[in-house]
A and B are shown apart, each in its own frame.
Chain A
């Protein structure tokens, strides 16, 4: 709204009435002046005629008898009137009299009367002229007109003043009071409009009464509203509190997979792994909703998994559940979430996805450790036999054209070491053996402890013939190196390795390869231990025993035993 100067009602009223009064005064003055002037002029003429009527008889006689004295009397009498400036009397018999107040020859408005004999109306004897005093007449008319004008102006002024005072007193002043008081009343204030003392019983008192009622009603409404708002705020706070402090993380996505809202628990969960949920939240500084808000699935490791579940949720009306890990730099700090999603439609008809997430990292960790313990040997950390078989089957069914080498191994001299130095040293020997075996092959190869001092390595390779020979040689050399258990004890053991091979996957491959490898290992044991054996293309066992270490403990024991 443009700043306009406030103009009080009674000033406007005063202004309007003044304008009307001045206009009326001007119009009535002009009218009065002309009417009055005209009336005065006609009145003067009538008076002149009457004067003529008065003296006509005497003048006639004077002219009739040629009596100049008498004629002069008549003329002097006429001149005594203010409205007459000059008179002339002329007789047919030649006498002529002229008199005037001054010597001006002005004959404007001259009135002439034919004189006849007093005894015969048809007998023309002379003429009587009257010259009116035009200045006097005009000033008389003017005076009269001015009087009317002044009277009307005075009347209009007085009437206007009375009208103004009446309206001001009865209408605009109370209205101003009402308006000003109402203007000053603050929202919710207890102040009310003044009630007029006198018994007015008119629209103004009704207006005041009604405004006061309205103000009171408004106050009550305002208070109600205030209380209502307070309770709503409390309710909202409580709801928000339960939303935020819920044990589960809650989120709401739109159908594009973008975050609409979330609770504090989710934020806390994500904060733990260094994800700032505000990066995914809708940014209010962009007007367009679908600008570059990052999709919510970005917080997960396996985004596709989440997106598939999301699409399934949208397309079906069923609750979707999935366990999914959050994107994080390190695998050890990985956080797992159990996520439930269901479709909902918000009041404006948009499809939304409600999600509930629980932090199930602990459970997953427990599960993983149980699974690990089940599949791994506690002492060496190597796979157990069934786990090794499962890993073999898993890999080989997926890579059926791969060559697989199976190394079945048994330690030589372990029983002796175990009996000589005790179980603790034996266990240590097994652990060192496992370590050395792992280091002898690639990380992707399967290394397993079958039980006791029996070990298994399965290696997939597309290498040339001779690959198995190199590996086996490496293994034997690694194991026969002395093992420093502690400062006093150094233990040396040997290893017998039986090797089998498969060119491609077939049913029962594991069992067949194990049997074949066992046969080859038996050959090594039979021929003298600490070596390796595999079946060549000619179906004959090729045995390679390694006997180059003179300080070999089990050989010494063998000798003493012999």
Chain B
């Protein structure tokens, strides 16, 4: 049942937004990461890219629910609860939340290790590097 609901939600979101691209600084030496790696970085398990560079995950407020749902298959409320549990221990914190694409893009341009996500339609490959596309 839960699985069916998930698919339904997926269909709805797919209608509103096409794909979401995970992007990083254009100067970041890395070309692509696995879906698992993206998950590890955004869910607090990993703090670095495969090569070892420090990774700074960034959340984009308007696209957050869709992103996490596509990435983990869970609604954003569960993700929030997850973070709330981890934060209680005081050792880790969720990705920095940014209000819009402009701020996100600006932050990515300024930080080599920054990693974020935007609507694939808004991606400018000259300014950011696409690491992974969430279908």
User: Which positions in A face B, CB cutoff 8 Å?
Assistant: 58, 61, 64-70, 73, 117-120, 123
Contact (Cβ within 8 A) B39 A119 = yes
B residues sitting closer than 8 Å to A (CB atoms) are: 36, 39, 43-45, 71-74, 82, 85-86, 89-92
Contact (A61, B36) CB under 8 Å given A70-B89, A119-B74: no
Contacts of B39 in A (CB 8 A): 117, 119-120
What is the CA–CA distance of A64 and B92 in the complex, to the nearest angstrom? 12
Q: A119-B72, A119-B73 are in contact. Are A64 and B85 (CB under 8 A)?
A: no
Residues A64 and B43 in contact, CB atoms below 8 Å apart: yes
The residue from A58, A69, A70, A123 contacting B36, defined by CB atoms under 8 A apart: A123
A153 to B44, CA, bound (A): 61
Contact at B36–A65, with CB atoms within 8 Å? Answer: no
Report chain B residues within 8 Å CB of A69. 89-91
In the complex the two chains form, is A65's CB within 8 Å of B92's CB?
yes
Chain B residue numbers with a CB within 8 Å of A118 are: 43, 82
Q: Which of A64, A73, A120, A123 contacts B89 (CB 8 A)?
A: A73
Q: Is the CB of B85 within 8 A of A61?
A: yes
Return chain B residues, CB-CB under 8 Å to A64: 43-45
List 17 additional contacts besides A65-B91, A66-B45; criterion CB under 8 Å.
Answer: A61-B82, A61-B85, A61-B86, A64-B43, A64-B45, A65-B43, A65-B45, A65-B86, A65-B92, A67-B86, A67-B91, A70-B85, A70-B91, A117-B39, A118-B43, A119-B39, A119-B43
Nearest A residue to B91 by beta-carbon distance? A67
Alpha-carbon distance A117/B92, docked complex (angstroms): 17
Chain B residues whose CB sits within 8 angstroms of the CB of A61 once the complex forms: 82, 85-86
Report the bound CA distance from A66 to B86 in whole Å. 10
Bound-state Cα–Cα, A447 to B72, Å: 184
| Residues on the B chain within 8 Å of A120, using CB | 36, 39
Instruction: Report the separation of the CA atoms of residues A69 and B71 in the bound assembly, to the nearest whole angstrom.
Output: 27
A122 to B: closest C-beta gap in Å: 10
Cα distance, A120 to B39, chains bound together (Å): 10
Query: Which B-chain residue is minimally distant from A93 (CB atoms)?
Result: B45
Would you call B73 and A67 a contact (CB within 8 A)?
no
Q: What is the bound-complex CA distance between A61 and B43, given in angstroms?
A: 10
Selected A-B contacts with CB under 8 Å, 8 pairs: A58-B85, A61-B85, A64-B45, A65-B44, A65-B45, A65-B91, A119-B74, A120-B36
- Closest residue on chain A to residue B44 by CB atoms: A65
A120 and B72 CA atoms in complex are apart in Å by 7
> Please, which residue of chain B has its CB at the minimum distance from the CB of A118?
B82
Residues of A within 8 A of B89 (CB): 67, 69-70, 73
B74 contacts across to A, CB distance below 8 A: 119
Closest chain B residue to A57 by CB distance? B85
CB distance from B115 to the nearest CB of A (A): 17
Residues of B within 8 A of A117 (CB): 39
Rounded to whole angstroms, the CA-CA distance of A66 and B44 in the bound complex is 9
**Roughly how many angstroms separate A58 CA and B81 CA in the complex, as a whole number?**
11
Q: Are B92 and A67 in contact (CB under 8 A)?
A: yes
* Nearest B residue to A65, CB-CB: B44
Contacts of B85 in A (CB 8 A): 58, 61, 70
- How distant is the Cα of A123 from the Cα of B34 in the complex, in angstroms? 14
A191–B30 Cα distance when bound, in Å, is 123
Q: Which residues of B contact A58 (CB under 8 A)?
A: 85
In the complex with contacts A64-B43, A65-B43, A123-B36, A70-B73 CB distance below 8 A? no
Top-9 shortest CB links A-B: A119-B72, A69-B89, A70-B89, A65-B44, A67-B91, A67-B89, A64-B45, A65-B45, A65-B92
**Measured CA separation A65–B91 after assembly (Å):** 9
**Shortest CB distance A95–B (Å):** 12
Chain B residue with Cβ nearest A70: B89
Most buried by A among B36, B86, B89, B90: B89
Query: CA of A73 to CA of B90 in the docked complex: distance in angstroms?
Result: 13
In angstroms, Cα B92 to Cα A70, docked, is: 11
B45, A70: Cβ atoms closer than 8 Å: no
Contacts of B92 in A (CB 8 A): 65, 67
The docked-state distance in angstroms from the alpha carbon of A61 to that of B72 is 14
Q: How far is the CB of B86 from chain A (nearest CB, A)?
A: 6
Contacts of A65 in B (CB 8 A): 43-45, 86, 91-92
The minimal Cβ–Cβ distance linking A70 to chain B, given in whole angstroms, is: 4
How far apart are the CA atoms of A345 and B8 in the complex, in Å? 131
B95 to chain A, nearest CB (A): 13
Q: Which residues of A contact B44 (CB under 8 A)?
A: 64-65
The complex places the Cα of A287 from the Cα of B28 at a distance, in Å, of 145
Q: Please name all residues of chain B whose beta carbon is closer than 8 Å to the beta carbon of A70 when the two chains form the complex.
A: 85-86, 89, 91
Query: In the complex the two chains form, what is the Cα distance from A489 to B43 in whole Å?
Result: 202
A120–B34 alpha-carbon span in the complex (Å): 14
* B71 partner residues in chain A, CB cutoff 8 A: 119
User: With A and B bound together, what is the CA distance between A77 and B83 in angstroms?
Assistant: 20
A68 to B89, CA, bound (A): 9
The residue among A118, A119, A123 with the most chain B CB atoms within 10 A of its own CB is A119
Contacts of B43 in A (CB 8 A): 64-65, 118-119
Q: Which of A58, A65, A123 has the largest count of B CB atoms less than 10 A from its CB?
A: A65
Bound form: Cα–Cα A64–B82 in Å: 11
What is the bound-complex CA distance between A73 and B72, given in angstroms? 25
Complex Cα–Cα for A120 and B37 (A) = 12
Complex formed: what's the CA distance from A120 to B38 in Å?
13
Nearest CB of chain B from residue A81's CB, rounded to whole Å: 21
In the assembled complex, which residues on chain B have CB atoms less than 8 Å from the CB atom of A68? 91
Write the nearest CB–CB distance from B118 to chain A, whole angstroms.
22
Min CB distance, A211 to chain B, in Å?
83
Query: In the complex the two chains form, what is the Cα distance from A66 to B82 in whole Å?
Result: 14
> What is the CA–CA distance of A226 and B62 in the complex, to the nearest angstrom?
129
CB distance from B65 to the nearest CB of A (A): 15
The distance from the CB of A452 to the nearest CB of chain B, in whole angstroms, is 183
Q: How far is the CA of A73 from the CA of B89 in the complex (A)?
A: 9
* Chain A nearest CB, measured from B43 CB (Å): 7
Bound-complex Cα distance A120 to B40 (A): 11
CA distance A64 to B91 in the complex (A): 13
**Distance in angstroms between the alpha carbons of A117 and B43 in the assembled complex:** 11
